[in-house]
Structure formats: structure tokens, C-alpha cells
Amino acid sequence: MKTQKIVYWIATSLFSAIMLFSVYNYFFNHEAIKGYFEAFGYPTYLVYPLAIAKILGLIAIWGNFSKWLREWAYAGFFFNTLLAFFAHYMFNGADYLFSLLALAGVLLSYFTGRAVRP
């Protein structure tokens, strides 16, 4: 059980750091992110709402307000990181490390968190 807790907190911290890094870039490096969104074929008006959704999702996971809210936050992060991985992989075959790490972190955090957190 102690090993699962350690894995959970490391995975949650890892993917949270990646999400906070992306939120930082969405707000303070907007033109570059806008260029990436255009290159991937995503609409650029999603940059700010996606950054806000990531912040709210992290609050829901770390705040542990309700199990239902935490499940939806993990679902949102799963789909976000999965789509980010495929977008990065299909666009530029070598620039997908952070999205793959975030996807692994979300999955590891979710499944170990089910055993560790109430």
C-alpha cells in the first residue's frame, strides 16, 4: 500500500507539473501555442478555455471535493492527453514526449489513486 501511495503522488505530481507548464504557455506564450494549434488543425479559440479547464481539473483532483468530480477531471485529462499525443505524433514524429509522459501520468495517477484515495 505504501508503494502505491508513492507511485500515486509521483504520477499525480508529474502530470500536474506538465499540465501547469502547458497552462503557463497557453497564457504567457500565446502566439506560439496559437501557431501549434493552427498547425495541428485545431481552432485557436480553444487555447484559453482549455487552459482554464486544465486549472479547474487540477483543482478537482488535488482538492478531492467529490469522487464524481474527480472522475470527470481524470476523463477530461485522459482525452486531452490522448488527443495531444496523437496530434504531436502525427504532425511531428519526434515531438510527443511530454504528451506521452502526461498520458502515462494520468493513467498511473488514476488507477493507483482508486486504490489509495477514498
Q: What is the pLDDT of residues 13-70, one digit of tens each?
A: 999 999 999 999 999 999 999 988 888 888 999 999 999 999 999 999 999 899 999 9
Crossing angle of the two packed helices 2-28 and 47-63, in degrees rounded to 10: 150
For 70, 93, 99, the CA distances from 33, given in Å and listed in that order, are 27, 18, 14
Residues 16 and 38: beta-carbon distance below 8 Å: no
**Can you give the pTM of this predicted structure?**
0.89
CA angle (56, 33, 39) in 5-degree steps: 125
